[in-house]
């Protein structure tokens, strides 16, 4: 028995000696050290290693304490740690780590000891936004994760009905960038397409097919696995039941094939993969659980609690109709790691005044909606509020644009030119946007977009040119009453239809008032369309469905401008909802949609800008800044996404309590 024990200890010693040789240095157990995370002891003594003054801890123990997703690849002796879209790759024996494909260097390399992988505590913790303090007296490494226990947000989009596919409701709009539901891909803060539910993909050479490879450990909130069948079902189901998708690239999907549980291929009718990715990265692209939705034939009226089951970083917990507040909890089993916020409350506000007051009082930390910045007119009320950042960012959208309808005389280029010269843009900007707007150029596309062409001139007022152009096409004031007449002798009366979406109506009506006053100065009796005032449903029907307007004042969302430069608001073509059917314009628009990369897209969009400058199918009226205020007195780490503000997928993993 003694001999057998001696042999065992000798073999064990030789094994450990071999391991230390492979790793290059001797292993020292930090018997007198301990580690705490947020006040709770993590490991101590024999569960810690020390090398070159650096404490090393078991990677899985540390990962779970920090809410990281830990994936071990034994054949490669590599571990991947993930929190949101931040990935850290560590290889045993190497001091070189990969952080989102960029190389970073560690003081010490990961080690294997007693069958466990040990990693440097400070390096990993700080990489994922934690603070690490060494207490010499206690021989204690004190890690503070900064986990946010609860945050309250405000929205102007209704929480009733509770339906994830109602594109006017808060449930859908909150998921444009990942909340209860996520997409195959998403935008990073610089608006590059990055992985989400799909960890990688392959695009066919002809740009008409793309194969997605899903992460293998994603689960729905009810515990069922997420599979390629769910992805296939999602888009076939949406194309069958949601008619509005006909406006987008997903309508070009010809078929979807599933190769295995985690591999799915989209085949398109046209070479539109580049544009498809832009659709898949926003609300249109959220994936649905087949086992929940396959028997639902009226999706927009499906309000059972199960319709809110997703696979995203947050799980729906409750809704209080009295306070109109929804509560969500962190998904601790999220495939990309646990979010840094334990609980989110979202409250509905009836108007911008109430929302702004809640921000000032600190009742909410930020607003949560899609493409709904606080109107610039509220900036003076918010400026100087302690602990509040105005969140001023370049607006990737178009604050206000003008589109022309299909009726004479707005179909005449000379008339559109006259309208463009009649407007006092500096006065309009001052009246509507104050210091947060600028006079736009003739090419529509805002300077915040890389495809912007600075060579095109800015719009200017010239009343003499406006009057001359109107005279030239026979629209003259024959009776001297200050209003021009049409060829049939009737007065030149033109309705101006403003967008009356909640949260936008006040700004749009104010702009319409200014525009009407300017057009009257050149003999156009312009007036605000009374039928859409206070009637969001009528506005949507008139503009998006019937396209029954003469002059329309709208706003371009950042998502639309990223997709096609905002052309969809002006062109009458597949995937758009404008009124200009000029074959040349349609051809250019298709070039934008069928671009295969950034350079082709930029070139096509430059061509579109020159067409706009020449033919004026529509005008940008104000380019501006977007205001997305957020509290800085309680929270830090807001991830400001270009064009969209501070509340987004990245923020859920980066936010910290002060």
Quickly state the pLDDT bin for 27 (edges 50, 70, 90): low
| Lowest-confidence segment of 295-309, 580-594, 636-650 by average pLDDT | 636-650
Any residues with CB less than 8 A from the CB of 521 and at least 6 apart, and which?
A: 422, 463
**Predicted local confidence at residue 26, as pLDDT:** 52
**Predicted local confidence at residue 431, as pLDDT:** 96
Question: Could you give the percent of the chain with pLDDT greater than 90?
Answer: 87
Quickly state the pLDDT bin for 355 (edges 50, 70, 90): very high
For residues 474-493, average pLDDT: 96
Q: What is the pLDDT of residues 522-532, one digit of tens each?
A: 999 999 999 99
Q: What is the pLDDT of residues 73-114, one digit of tens each?
A: 999 999 999 999 999 999 999 999 999 979 999 999 999 998
Strand extents, DSSP E, 205-277: 209-214, 253-260, 263-268
**Predicted local confidence at residue 534, as pLDDT:** 94
The DSSP annotation for 420-482 comes to: HHH--HHHHHHHHTGGGEE--BTT-S-TTSTT--TTSPBP---HHHHHHHHHHTT---SSSSS
pLDDT(255) > 70: yes
Q: What is the CATH number of domain 394-627?
A: 3.10.105.10
For residues 349-357, average pLDDT: 96
Topology of the domain covering 151-390+628-657: D-Maltodextrin-Binding Protein; domain 2 (3.40.190)
pLDDT(381) > 50: yes
Q: What is the pLDDT of residues 530-549, one digit of tens each?
A: 999 999 999 999 999 999 99
For residues 162-182, average pLDDT: 94
pLDDT(24) > 50: no
Q: What is the pLDDT of residues 262-284, one digit of tens each?
A: 999 999 999 999 999 999 999 99
CATH of 26-144 among 3.40.190.10, 3.30.499.10, 3.40.50.920, 3.30.457.10 = 3.30.457.10
**Predicted local confidence at residue 15, as pLDDT:** 43
**Predicted local confidence at residue 30, as pLDDT:** 65
pLDDT(4) > 60: no
Alpha-carbon distance of 319 to 162, in angstroms, equals 9
Alpha-carbon distance of 52 to 271, in angstroms, equals 56
- What is the reported pTM? 0.89
**Predicted local confidence at residue 125, as pLDDT:** 96
Quickly state the pLDDT bin for 2 (edges 50, 70, 90): very low
The torsion angles phi and psi of 118, rounded to 5 degrees, stand at -105, 140
- Domain parsing of the chain, residue ranges: 26-144, 151-390+628-657, 394-627
pLDDT(557) > 90: yes
């Amino acid at each position: 028995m003694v001999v057998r024990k001696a042999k065992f200890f000798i073999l064990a010693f030789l094994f450990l000696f071999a391991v230390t040789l492979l790793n290059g240095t001797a292993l020292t157990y930090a018997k007198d050290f301990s580690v705490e995370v947020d006040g709770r002891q993590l490991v101590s003594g024999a569960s810690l290693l020390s090398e070159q003054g650096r404490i090393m801890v078991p990677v899985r123990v540390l990962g779970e304490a920090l809410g990281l997703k830990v994936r071990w690849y034994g054949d490669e002796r590599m571990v991947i740690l993930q929190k949101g879209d931040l990935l850290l790759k560590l290889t045993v024996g190497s001091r070189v780590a990969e952080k989102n494909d960029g190389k970073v260097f560690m003081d010490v390399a990961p080690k294997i000891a007693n069958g466990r992988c040990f990693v440097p505590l400070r390096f990993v913790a700080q990489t994922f936004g934690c603070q690490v303090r060494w207490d010499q007296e206690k021989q204690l490494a004190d890690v503070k994760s900064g986990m946010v226990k609860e945050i309250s947000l405000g929205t102007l989009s209704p929480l009733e009905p509770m339906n994830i596919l109602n594109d006017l409701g808060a449930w859908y709009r909150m998921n444009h960038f990942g909340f209860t539901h996520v997409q195959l891909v998403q935008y990073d803060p610089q608006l590059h397409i990055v992985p989400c539910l799909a960890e990688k993909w392959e695009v066919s050479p002809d740009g008409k097919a793309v194969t997605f490879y899903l992460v293998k450990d994603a689960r729905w909130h009810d515990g069922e696995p997420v599979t390629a069948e769910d992805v296939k079902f999602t888009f076939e189901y949406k194309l069958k039941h949601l008619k509005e998708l006909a406006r987008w690239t997903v309508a070009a999907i010809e078929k979807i094939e599933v190769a295995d549980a985690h591999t799915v291929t989209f085949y398109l009718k046209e070479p539109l993969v580049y544009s498809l990715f832009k659709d898949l990265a926003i609300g249109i692209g959220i994936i649905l659980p087949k086992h929940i939705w396959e028997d639902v034939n009226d999706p927009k009226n499906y309000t059972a609690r199960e319709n809110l089951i997703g696979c995203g970083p947050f799980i729906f917990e409750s809704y209080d109709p009295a306070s109109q507040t929804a509560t969500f909890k962190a998904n601790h089993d999220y495939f990309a790691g646990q979010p840094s916020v334990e609980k989110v409350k979202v409250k509905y506000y009836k108007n911008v005044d109430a929302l702004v007051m809640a921000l000032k009082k600190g009742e909410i930390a930020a607003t949560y909606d899609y493409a709904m910045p606080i109107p610039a007119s509220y900036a003076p009320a918010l400026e100087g509020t302690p602990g509040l950042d105005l969140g001023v960012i370049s607006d990737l959208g178009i604050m206000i644009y003008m589109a022309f309808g299909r009726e004479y005389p707005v179909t005449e280029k000379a008339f559109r030119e006259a309208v463009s010269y009649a407007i006092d843009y500096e006065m309009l900007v001052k009246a509507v946007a104050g210091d947060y707007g600028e006079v736009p150029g003739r090419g529509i596309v805002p300077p915040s977009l890389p495809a912007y062409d600075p060579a095109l001139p800015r719009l200017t007022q010239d009343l003499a040119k406006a009057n001359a152009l109107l005279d030239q096409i026979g629209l003259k004031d024959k009776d001297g009453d200050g209003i021009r007449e049409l060829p049939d002798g009737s007065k030149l009366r033109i309705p101006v239809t403003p967008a009356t979406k909640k949260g936008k109506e006040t700004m749009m009506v104010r702009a319409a008032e200014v525009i009407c006053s300017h057009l009257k100065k050149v003999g156009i009796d312009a007036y605000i369309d009374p039928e859409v005032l206070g009637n969001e449903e009528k506005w949507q029907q008139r503009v998006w469905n019937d396209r029954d307007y003469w002059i329309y004042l709208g706003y371009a969302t950042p998502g639309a401008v990223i997709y096609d430069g905002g052309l969809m608001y002006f062109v009458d073509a597949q995937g758009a909802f404008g009124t200009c059917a000029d074959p040349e314009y349609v051809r250019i628009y298709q070039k934008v949609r069928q671009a295969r990369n950034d350079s082709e897209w930029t070139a096509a969009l430059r061509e579109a800008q020159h067409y706009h400058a020449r033919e004026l199918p529509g005008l940008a009226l104000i380019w501006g800044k977007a205001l997305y205020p957020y509290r800085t007195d309680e929270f830090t780490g807001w991830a400001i996404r270009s064009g969209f503000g501070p509340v987004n997928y990245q923020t859920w993993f980066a936010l910290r309590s002060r």
